[in-house]
Structures are given as C-alpha cells and as structure tokens.
Structure 1
Amino acid sequence: MVSPLHPVLAGPGLSVPRSFGRRHNVVKVCITKFMDVWFSLQLSHYGGKYSVERLLAFEDYMERTPFSRVMLITIGTPVPIVALVFCQESVPLQDPTDGWSVNYGFWVRVAVQGGVIACSSAIHVGHFVEGAVLSSRQLTLFTLCIAVVYTSLALTIAATWKFPIPFMHMILAMGMPFFLVGLFRSVVGSSIFRQVSSHTIQLRQLGKMFAVQILMIAIYPAHQMLFYAVTNTSFELPAILMLSVVKLVMKNLLASTVLHMEDIVPEEVIFNVDFFHAIYLVTCMQGASSPNTVIAIMAVDVADTIIELRELYQRTRSILNRFSPERGVKDCHYDLLVSIRSWIHQANLKKLRNGNFQTLSCISHRVSLDSRALLEKLQTFSLNSAVCSDGAVPVKVAGTVTVARAVCRASLWRCCPGGSTPVQPIKSILVPVKTRSSLQHQGSFHRRMQQNFNTLSEPLELLFTSECLVLTEYLETIIPIMYGCGILVMVNLPSAKYHSEMQGITLENVGGKVLGIFAYGLLELISFVALAVIMRRNCGIRALYQLAFVLETQMPLVQAKFVLWVIMVLACRVTHFGVDFHLS
C-alpha cells in the first residue's frame, strides 16, 4: 500500500511532507547543538591529549606487562584503604554524651585523619612543586607530627568549648594550613623551603586545587543534608539528579587548576570529583524511599553511558581510517598504538615539530630503548631544525639533546622527581631571522602541515578520552561494591549506631537496603565491559591495561586521594565529628 503522504501522490495541496521534513531538520539541528554543548562541558571531550612519551610508555606497558599483574593492580588498588578502614572501625566508639575525655575511639580516628591529611598533602606538593619532594624519613616524620598537632588542636577545642565540636573539619581547616607550612619548613630546612617558596606560579596553582577540594568537602555533605530533608517528597529524584550538575561544575573547576599538566588531568580530576559523586550517589540510592527513584537513577546512567560509548565508537573508527595502509602504515593489525608508532617512524619529522601536542610527559614513565631513541630524535629535531614555522634560524650548539633537556628544565618545571618534562617546541634558543622568502613560505607551510598535525593529535586526544572513560567506569564499579560490602560489615559492629548512613538499617533489612547498590555496581561493570570491547575491537586498546597503566604509573597520587577521601567521607558521617545530616 502506498502512503498518502508519498511526495508524488499527495498532490500540490498537501504540504505535510515538507513541513515534517523541516521540523525533523530543526529537531536534528537542536539535538546536534545540544550534544556539542554537552560534550564540550565533559572532561573527556574538552580536547586534552596524551603526550607522545605517555603514548609510547603505554604501548611498552601493554607489551611487557603480563595479564596477571594487570589484574593484581586493578583489584589490589583498593585493598590498602579497605584494610585501613577495617582497622579503624575495629576501634569501638563511645557515647559522645559521656564527654571528650572518655572517647578514645574517636581520638584514634582524629589522629588517623590528621596523618592521612598530612601524607596526602605532602605527596601532592612533591608532585606539583619543583624541589618539594620529601624522603621516606621526612614524610614519616611530617605525617606523625601533623597527626599529633591535629589531634592536640581538636582536643584543646573540645576541652575549652564543647564536644562534639560542630563541623570540626571546617574549624580545623582554618588553622591547619599554618601548621602544615610550619612543619614542612622544619622538616626540609630553611634553604630548601626558600627554594620551594620561589615557585610562586606552581604554588598558586596548587593552592587553587586545594581550594576546590575543600569546596567539595563542603558541597557534597551539604547536598546529602538537602537530600535527607526532601526524602519521601516529590523533590527526592530532582535532589539526586542535582548531583550530576554538581559533578559537572566541580570537574570543570578542578580541571582548570591542572590543565598545565595534561597527562595527569584524568587521574587528578576523576579520583577527586568522580569519587565523591559515586559515593554520595550510592548513599542517596540507599536512602531513597521509592524503588522508582533508584530505577530512574540507573536509567539516566545507562543513557549517559550509551551516548559516551556511541561517541567513542564513532571516533575510533574515524581515527583508525586515517592510519590505513594508504597512509603508509603497514601490517599494524588494526592496533592504534602500533599504527601511531609506525606512522611517527615513517613520517617526515618536519610534519611533527610544531604539532599541537607535547613530546615529553610531566610525570616519570618507563619506556623501552626504542621509544627513548624516538623521543630523543623528536626532541633533537625540534632543537636543530633548519627551518622553523616562524622563519627562525637555530643557533648551532654542541650537545643538542643535553641542551634541549637543560632548556626544558629551566623553562618548564618538573612535576615529579626523576620524571620527564613537558615540552613545547623550543624557541628560546632560536634567533629569529625573518626573510622575504620565509614570510612568503610561512602561510603555505602551515596549510600543508595542519593535516599532518591533526593526524597525530586526534589519536592522542582519543587516548586521553579513553583514559577518562576507563577511570570513571572503574570508580563507578568499585565504589558501589565497596560501599555495599561496608554496609554489610558495619551493621554487625557496635559503632554502627553512630554512623548517619546506618540509621534505620538492621540485620533484618540490610539485604534489601544494599540490593539496589549492588545492582548499580553490576550495571557499571557491564558498562565497563562494553567500553573494553569497543576499545579492543575498534583500535586494539585494552581497557584493563590502560587502567592498570594509570594506577601503577601514578600509584602515589591515586592512593593518596583514595585514602584521604574515604577517611574524610567516613568521618563526616560519624556523630562525634559534629555533622548532622538529618538537621536534627
């Protein structure tokens, strides 16, 4: 049967097909614009890129690392924090109405919290500020001293004012920076302290990052208080969905403080913001009064995952076509990393020297001799290039590679001891000699080179995006599982009655309370598997290897944040710390 809306049979009087087509186009354009705006706000799509050194290090890691080690790192990363929390919760809490002097269980937790804050702060300062790395002995001394000072300060306030101390974290946060700086100076000495203090730009960026972290500590508990206030009302679901808006804002704020160190942006942002989002989301799911609310949360998560996976699928197929055999890359078996290495080897280095990407990374990586030789080749060419994009002529110097490294250290700071330095094309030792021929040639040079720059920039950006997605899915998988298991264990402890998240949970109903949480964790695990399949089939990247690569390469930073935030979140939920989520 022929439709009456057929463009031939409908007749001149019927304009439905044209108007329908116009409306369809308008809707399509609106959806496209919305998706463009949405992706522009996402960390995984803002345009971040791997450095060439990180790309080569990742490929070497995939080649040399056995799968058993990958699984051990992936599963074993949360083990230290699980052990620490178990030991801490094994110390019983006393009734806060009995006074501060008999609550030894609480003061043990305060000391642990102070030590964790000190250790995490020192690790981050060492990675973000040149010359601020503490030795193992110095780190231990600094941690113990801060733990003692933190506990003593809290004891003094409790003894002279009231116990529990209202919003103890916020009160102590106002005075602790002075003690942290003072003890740091005592530990490292005055000369090193003056040297560290001279790096004002790095310290300013680090201060901004710490400020965003403190803001997170305030915003997420405040949101939990709001959620408990609207539980059993029609505002329950909107309050939970508000978490996604908070996450989006906080990720963009935190990312803006570490953009100068692009290789660590995914780990730094996701293990801060996404951790808070995941743990407070499952808390809201636990306290939701209706199963429909939990189902709605899962539906939103599924929709977001489908959009991300679809975008990743399209990008991987498009980029892989750029490295097809007609591009000069042969026998790469659809492995993107191998294809990129082969393309770099075969490409004229003139095509790479001014690309919009970094050659060296801002953190230390283990690379093979072949990879190191390729990096040295790229750096040497950047230094000794006979013709530069701006028409400059290089000064002839001896020891080009050594000079390049020295210039890098002088102009850009190293974020990790013994690591590599992020490098932009070096122009500080070039003497500009503008000629008429160079000026005429400059425009055509940029046009010819732009396509080659994009050829390498796009896969580097794809690797950055895939790392963001892998880390996010990893956290969103393990956090619900860890949280659910923690509830099952906590309900058997006598201290459970002092935890706000345990209110209303008994041995009889705990199974039903955590069922939705485990279902959410299973859903995230399925999402992770789907992501891994797409990455493996489309471009040969193994998601588990990329995850283990990040966790192992940046293990101190990962563990510092993991331990810090778990301890802080647990503390915010203990009555003794003076935070009442139920506004009672």
Structure 2
Amino acid sequence: MIVQASTSWLSRFSRIWNSLRVEQHGHYSAQRLIDLQKYSNIINTVELLVIILATPLPCLLTVILADVTPLNSPEAGTNSNIVFWLRSCLIIGLYTMSFVVQFREMLPTLPMSRERSFGITVFVSSGVILFAYSMSLVIGFPVPFLMVVGAPLWMILILGSFAISWKNLICGDSAVQTQIVNGLKMFMVQMSMIAIYPFYIYIFTSLSSVGQALFSLVLLIIKLAIKNGISLYIPSNIDMQPEIVVFNVDIFNALFVSFSMQTSTSKLTVIVIVVVDLLRMASSLREVKLLVHELKKLEKQINSLKPLVQDGINLTRKQRNPLSRACSIIARRSFATTNFDMRLLSAKQGPRLQVKPLHFLFRSKQVLPRKSFNHHSKYHSMGAKTQETRVPETLNADSKRWKSSRTDPQPKFVFLERQYARKVLNLLHLTEFTILIEYIEVIVPVVYSIYVVAMSYLPNRVYYAQLAYMDVESTLSNVLLYSFLEFLSLILLTTFLRKTMEYSPTHQLAFVLRTQWKMVQSTLVLWVVYVVQSSLVHFGTLKMPQLLHYVDLRLIQRS
C-alpha cells in the first residue's frame, strides 16, 4: 500500500510538473521546419560561431557605454545632474523602443511603420522624463523609487499610443481585438517581473547562507509562474513562443541569479541553483529521448510499408535524420491530396504534445489505431509509466480510413507519415526551448561579469550599491563558477541532442538568433540595461527606511 501510494503521488507530481513546463506544450509550424532545414544546409561554421558569440555584444556595449560619461553626485541636486537626465531619456527611449519592437513582431498583422514606432518612442520618453523631472523639483533629488513611480505613466502613454494607432482596426475586427487584448495581458505579466524580482533580492540579501540556499528555490516557482502567465496570452503565432518566453523570463531570471551569486555568502547557493537547473534539463532530455524513441518506432513501421506503396521515396544516407524525413513528408503530403494538406501538419488538430496547463498529454509505447488504445492504456496503467495517448480527431479519421481497407497499405502509410511529421514538429519546439534556456544561462552571467570588470575602471561605480566597494575577484567568483557550470551543461546538452537527433542543435540556435534577431535583441538589451540601471543611486534605489527618512527631510525643508 505504501509503495503504491508513493508511486501514485510521484506520478501525480510528475504530471503536474510536466503540465507547468511550457516547453512541452507547443510545436513548430510546417513552414518553420522547412525554413530551419534550408538554413541548416547553407550556414557554415564561421557564420554560426559569429552569430552565437556576437548576439550578446549589443547589450554589453549599451550597458557599458551608458556609464562612460561621469555623473555628478545626487547631493548636487536635480539641476546639476543634466548628464543623468540626458542618459535617462536615452535609456527610457531604449525601453520604449524595445516594447514597440516586441509588439510589432508579435502582432505582424497590425500596421506599425518605422516612423510611427519612432514617434511613439519619442513621445513616451519625453512625457516620462518631464514627469520625473517635475517630481524631482517637488520631492527632491533623487526621487525615491523613480523607476517604479514612473512606470504607471509610462504604461499609460505607450498603451494609449497603441490604442490611437490601431483605433480603426480595434473597432472593426473582433479577432484583432482579441489579439491586442492578449498582447496587453502578456505585457502586464512582463511588467510584473519589475516588482517581483527586486523584492526577491531584498529578502535574499537579508538571509543567512543556509537561508539563501533554500530561498533560491523560490526562483524556480517565480519563473514557472511567469512563464505560464506569458504563454497563456501569447498571440496565435506559436513559432514565437520560445523566443518570447526565454528572452523575457529567463534573461530576467539569469540576471537576478547573477545578482544573488554576487551577494551570496557561500558556495551552497551556487550548488542548489545548478542542481535545480540540471534536474530541469534532465527532465527535458528525458522528454526528447521519449520522442526520439517514438520516432524510431514509427520509422520502422514506415520502412516496412514503403516497398508496398507507390509514393514511398528512398532517402540518401545524409537525409535520414528526423528533420529531413519530416521535410520530405510535408513536401509530398502538402500537394498529394486535399485530405493531407500541409496545414493539417501544423494546425490545432496537428501536433498534440502541447496542451494547456493541467490538461495532460500521455504517451503510449505503440502507435495503434483508436480501438486498441483502451486495452493498451489499461495494460500500461499498472506499470511505472502510466501514460496513454489522446489521439487527435484527424488521426482518428485517418485511422478509420486505413483500417477500413486493410488490403491497401497506402492509407496506413500516409497516416504513419503524418504522425511522424507531427512528432518531429513537437520535438523541435522542445529542443528550441531547451537550447535557448541553456544559452541564456551561459551568456547572461558572462555579460554581467564583463560589465562588472569594466565598471571597476569607470568613475560611476561609486553610485551603484553593489559595485561601490566591491573586490572584483571575490565579487565574481560565484558568478563565474555558476557560468562555468552552465557552460558545461550546455556542452552536455548539445552533445546529447546531436547524438540523439542526428542533428546539430547549434544550427537551430543560430537559426533563431538570426531569423528572429529583432525580438532577441530588443528583449536582451531591454532587460540587461533595466536590471543594471535599476541599482543606480540617482534612481532612488536606497533601502526603504533610508528612503522614508530622506523624503521626510526633504518635505520638512520644503515647508
């Protein structure tokens, strides 16, 4: 009884855990698969390395150049800090442009010219800076929590600008209204990170070494919650889901992990965070392995039927990896008949590894027609693997079609090929998520470490609380250790995927960074600059008691 209860509890926990992991709830479109295959065939090693290594450079240069010009002390007053106000205008303009670019990429059907994007950026940035400057004249300089105080006005101005730009479309099309509302909801979830993570750091820095190690597990809960919140409202373009989620949540999370490492008093926190990350990666690799195993079983069934059908083609040795097979299937099935249109390979009734949270996908160990599934699932419900397959309606129709004519292998062959293509689309979505997460967890600590070293030679370091009295070697030891361990996990991941899928995941990584560079760069620059600048003393980033005392003194002086 105890063993059965523990097995049932673990099984239930596993299902809930998998349902909350957004990387397991999606698929590639058929067109994206074809584009990836073409890109992989033309890219060379030099170009691949340049793309992967050069991607973090814009955000690194931006965050360093922002502090090249010396700032005056906050005690000098608001009118003596013209340099601060000028750079603040540029930084807020950068934030605004980043969000405008994200909206343009997420909602490509809505008109947003470059001129209008630039106009919105200038309007919003000017309005926020004028408001902040007015607050500094009334309250005093620096304004306590200036970024937090200015955020509501910034949101009102940018959302109002969007509403004015798209008012005609909003009024006349309910589908567009739904897209915009979902985009705004996702935007609100993104903005919640600005409040949640600083509060986490405030608690983290006040704990003991053991307390910090245990409290670091809260990061996992925060990340899961925000990822699911963003995924819930991502527009209909499922191909953008990995980039939107990873280059928002995981960048922000990696930056604050770097902050936590910098302020941590022991190596125990590093160990806990790395172990949790390895467990997450192991879960993804297990899912990859299961999918590849299913693909191999489908391959055997397809190969056994190939001599009996007319349209089975022989792939060369170089074309026998899952991507090439799936591309071949899509190319043939998309034009064969109207019943096997390419759209069915990527529509809602297509890939079904993705499910909404708490609607679980269970997988069988055999590819069976629908009538066989009940018996098969009962048989396996007594084992450790209590998973069954929910077959899409289109698959049920296909299954009935080829079962009704057992003497003709053609319908069954088509059914198996379509199922094979769907699983490849699922697999690529999962591997893209996994490789992007590992890539971010390597480059963000490296970017932060280079920034800290550069700041040690710049005069503005005295205005950053975490940099003013730092010793570079001791400050970066934990951060660099964390980055090195993540780099090893990235090497392990790429080796495993290359061997398992017979395809290089670095090609997939370069494909994302190159083809969706606007979304990648806008989010990368946005969050790196925001997190670093948020600790500047001129933005009122003091501890709460000091701020309240500071405001009281200013108000007394004014009266």
> TM-score, normalising length from structure 1?
0.75
Deviation at residue 482 of structure 1 after TM alignment: 0.9
- Going from structure 1 to structure 2, the CA distance change for 1:304 and 1:121 (only over 3 Å counts) comes to closer
Q: In the alignment, which residue of structure 2 is the partner of 1:520? A: 482
The answer to whether structure 1 residue 314 and structure 2 residue 290 are counterparts is yes
CA 1:66 to 1:125, structure 2 compared with 1: closer, same or farther past 3 Å?
same
Please state if 1:488 is matched with 2:472: no
Does structure 1 residue 147 correspond to structure 2 residue 125? Answer: yes
- Corresponding residue of 2:534: 572
CA shift for structure 1 position 483: 1.1
Equivalent residue, structure 2, for 1:499? 464
* Counterpart for residue 403 of structure 1: none
CA distance in 1, matches of 2:235, 2:183: 12
2:326–2:421 CA contact under 8 A, matched in 1: yes
Measure how far apart 1:33 and its partner are. Answer: 3.4
Over 3 Å counting, the alpha-carbon distance change for 1:179 and 1:44 in structure 2 is closer
> Which deviates further from its counterpart, 296-305 or 535-544?
296-305
Q: 2:448 aligned with 1:461, yes or no?
A: no
RMSD over aligned Cα, in angstroms? Answer: 3.0
Aligned partners of 1:32, 1:102: CA distance in 2, in Å?
Answer: 63
Helix, strand or coil: the match of 1:323? helix
Q: 2:382 maps to what in 1?
A: none
1:184 shift after superposition: 5.8
Q: CA deviation at 1:220?
A: 0.7
Runs of 4+ in 1 over 6 A off after TM superposition: 440-443, 446-450
In structure 2, the residue corresponding to 1:501 is in which secondary structure?
coil
Question: Structure 1 residue 355: deviation in Å?
Answer: 3.9
Relative to structure 2, which stretch is displaced further, 295-304 or 99-108? 295-304
C-alpha displacement of 1:131: 5.3
Displacement, 1:309?
Answer: 2.3
Aligned twin of 2:279: 303
Does residue 34 of structure 1 match 2:10? no
Give, as a single letter, the amino acid of the residue that structure 1 aligns with 2:196: I
Residue in 1 that maps onto 2:325: 339
Compared CA separation, residues 489 and 108, structure 1 to 2 (3 A): same
1:275 maps to amino acid: I
Aligned to 2:203: 226
**Aligned residue in 1 for 2:169:** 195
Is this contact kept in 2: 1:320–1:336, CA < 8 A? no
Match in the other structure for 2:495: 533
| Correspondent of 1:76 among 47, 54, 74 | 54
Q: How far, CA to CA, are the matches of 2:36 and 2:15 in structure 1?
A: 30
Determine if contact 1:122/1:139 at 8 Å carries over to the other structure: yes
Which runs of 5 or more structure 2 residues have no equivalent in the other structure? 307-312, 351-395, 404-411, 547-559
SS at match of 2:169: helix
Q: Letter of the aligned partner of 1:210 in structure 2?
A: F
CA distance in 2, matches of 1:327, 1:104: 75
| Aligned-pair CA distance for 1:70 | 1.7
> How has the CA–CA distance of structure 1 residues 493 and 197 changed in structure 2, closer, same or farther, with 3 Å as cutoff?
farther
Name the CA distance, whole Å, in 2 between partners of 1:86 and 1:352. Answer: 51
337-346 vs 215-224, greater mean Cα deviation: 337-346
1:164–1:576 CA contact under 8 A, matched in 2: yes
Task: Please name the residue that 1:57 is paired with.
Answer: 35
The Cα of 1:182 is off from its aligned counterpart by: 5.6
CA distance in 1, matches of 2:495, 2:39: 19
Is the aligned partner of 1:330 residue 2:314? yes
Mean CA deviation greater in 28-37 or 109-118: 28-37
Distance 2:75 2:187 in 1: 34
Structure 2: distance between partners of 1:54 and 1:260? 15
The Cα offsets for residues 279-336 of structure 1, whole Å up to 9 and x where unpaired, read as 1111111111122222232233233333332332332233233234336463354411
Give me the whole-angstrom Cα distance separating, in 2, the residues matched to 1:222 and 1:279: 14
| Change beyond 3 A, Cα 1:61–1:146 | same
Match of 1:472 in 2: 437
One-letter identity of the residue aligned with 2:427: L
**Is 1:43 paired with 2:22?**
yes
How big is the shift at 1:343? 2.8
After TM superposition, the structure 1 = structure 2 runs for residues 175-254 of structure 1, keeping only pairs within 5 Å, are: 175-180=153-158, 193-195=167-169, 198=172, 199-230=176-207, 232=208, 234-254=210-230
Q: Which residue matches 1:561?
A: 523
SS at match of 2:66: helix
Q: Does 1:171 align with 2:149?
A: yes
Cα contact 1:51–1:357 (8 A) shared by 2: yes
Q: Percent identity?
A: 25
Q: Structure 1 residue 443: deviation in Å?
A: 8.9
Aligned AA (1:72) = V
**C-alpha distance after superposition, 1:426-452 (max 9, x if no partner):** xxxxxxxxxxxxxx9999349878766
Q: CA deviation at 1:44?
A: 1.2
**Superposition deviation, residue 27 in structure 1:** 4.4
Residue of structure 2 in register with 1:391 after alignment: none
The one-character-per-residue Cα deviations of 1:151-198 (angstroms, maximum 9, x if unpaired) are 222111111223222222222222223433565688x6xxx6523564
2: CA distance between counterparts of 1:137 and 1:523? 44
CA contact (8 A) 2:345 2:421 kept: no
Equivalent residue number for residue 551 of structure 1: 513
Task: Please state if 1:96 is matched with 2:74.
Answer: yes
Query: How many residues were matched structurally?
Result: 477
Residues 481, 521 of structure 1: 8 Å contact kept = yes
Distance 1:458 1:442 in 2: 16
Q: Deviations over 1:370-407 (max 9, x none)?
A: xxxxxxxxxxxxxxxxxxxxxxxxxxxxxxxxxxxxxx
Q: Which amino acid letter does the alignment assign opposite residue 424 of structure 2?
A: P
- In the aligned structure 2, how far is the partner of 1:234 from the partner of 1:521? 21
What residue in structure 1 maps to residue 400 of structure 2? Answer: 444
CA contact (8 A) 2:63 2:451 kept: no
Q: Does the aligned pair in 1 maintain the 2:147–2:539 contact within 8 Å?
A: yes
TM-score of the superposition, structure 2-length normalised? 0.78
Cα distance in 2 for partners of 1:156, 1:467 equals 46
Cα distance in 1 for partners of 2:275, 2:468 equals: 27
Judge which range, 574-583 or 63-72, deviates more. Answer: 574-583
Q: 1:284 aligns with which of 260, 265, 284?
A: 260
Unaligned runs of 5+ in 1: 1-21, 362-439
**8 A Cα contact 1:294 1:516, kept in partner:** yes
